[in-house]
Structure 1
Amino acid sequence: MAVGLARAIWNYRGFVAGSVKREFQSRYRNSLLGGAWMVLNPLAMIVVYTVIFSQLMKARLPGVDDGLAYSIYLCAGVLTWGFFSEIIGRSQSVFLENANMIKKLSFPRICLPLIVVLNAGVNFAIIFALFLGFLLVTGKLPGPALLGVLPVLAIQVLFSIGLGIILGVLNVFFRDVGQFVGILLQFWFWFTPIVYPLSVLPDAARAVIALNPMTPVIGAYQTIFVYGRWPDWESLWPVTLIACVLCVLGMRLFRKRAGEMVDEL
């Protein structure tokens, strides 16, 4: 199944690449600032959180006295969460948004979630490159531990794809799913230690937050960029397993309901 799927995607690689290029170009067409909005939105969020939590609430990271540490902590969490939420938010509506294309053209439908991931990946790569540039200029760029970002990012993408495909298929048959996902992501953000360290929470709250599969993923990024250390690989095994299970379930659900989706769109 996996080989056939990979072959089908490869045969339509031109369609995928062209779709990614067109969407990237059209997103900021007729906009005065263009692609700058891609950077300004997360930057504004980081500035607000830095002022509120670092200056007003005097939030501090354990074992770090550097004044830039909290801003780096926020960037590591906010930017990578933005990548995750963009994939989930767009995947849940990708089949509905492309209903006309699905009905009129013959192509592997699984290309659509892939296009979503690649588009989000392009946006994330640009923002993340600027973040690394900031760390380089300020002398805060991690050492060899920076390579740890790659496997953590792979786990996050795998988790996002699996969950996104499931939500995308379900949203075709149950349109309330789209509304639910928007609310879910808002709560999920605040139940993930992005703007606050786990150390400030009581033990009972820590136990609940620890059940969040995104907690070790975001924590891994923060460990790399704030402390310059390799992440705790053992803590990432559960979310890796969950990601693999979601991908298998997502592909099975997609293959089983692909024909019915056309009638529902």
Structure 2
Amino acid sequence: MELHGATALVTGTNRGIGHHFAIELLRRGAKVYATARRPELVNVPGAEVLRLDITDQGSVEAAAAIATDVDVLINNAAFTAGGNFMTGDLDAIRMTMDSNYYGTLAMIRAFAPILARNGGGAILNVLSAAAWTTVDGNTSYAAAKSAQWGLTNGVRLELAAQGTQVTALVPGLIATETMKDFAANAGIDFPDGLLEDPADLVRLALDGLEAGEIEIVDRIGADAKASLIGPPSTFDLEAVAASYGAGTRS
């Protein structure tokens, strides 16, 4: 998928990875629709900013009615704070599944006909290595990402006939404010270089998208997928940190 001259829509561009996707796509010569539930928080010079709540069908349809020239869809927006199944707030757990799974599905269903009319194009879904394991403290998020991985594989099969490339980005630990706050609250020190710089991850993802890859992983993502051949395991942040030469603070 050639990104220079493409038209991309990115969800969740008000911060984190989504912001970096919008910036890097513009740098590569794409037109960008930068979307967020609160568009006033989007700071992406050169992009066309749209209000978009992926869990609101009316909002999704409104964005699709405007962005009719899209040939690259990047599904990044997601609610992450569901917590554990047994102790988390049930509404938060529902929102985690609603945004990661149903919200992504709503976006794909709305934009697949647009991609078809524009030559097929590509879809990139931002997943997590948690899809291949689970995370104590946020088991509902891990389950939602696992469901999103299955969704990604399913729509890849269904959209192949219209020539739409469907790619999954499956990273491990990303140096976002959310991850840094989570680690700080857990008393975990990560070694230098373990947390993936969002800008570097985005470049890896877009290089893979242009190369036609259907699954893009970093080193932690690769280890998580390899673990699927054994018994189910927990993604233990403390253990991961220790394995790379760090640990918990005293």
TM-score (norm 2): 0.34
Structure with more contact order per residue of length (Cα contacts < 8 Å, sep ≥ 6): 1
Larger Rg: 1
**More strand as a share of residues:** 2
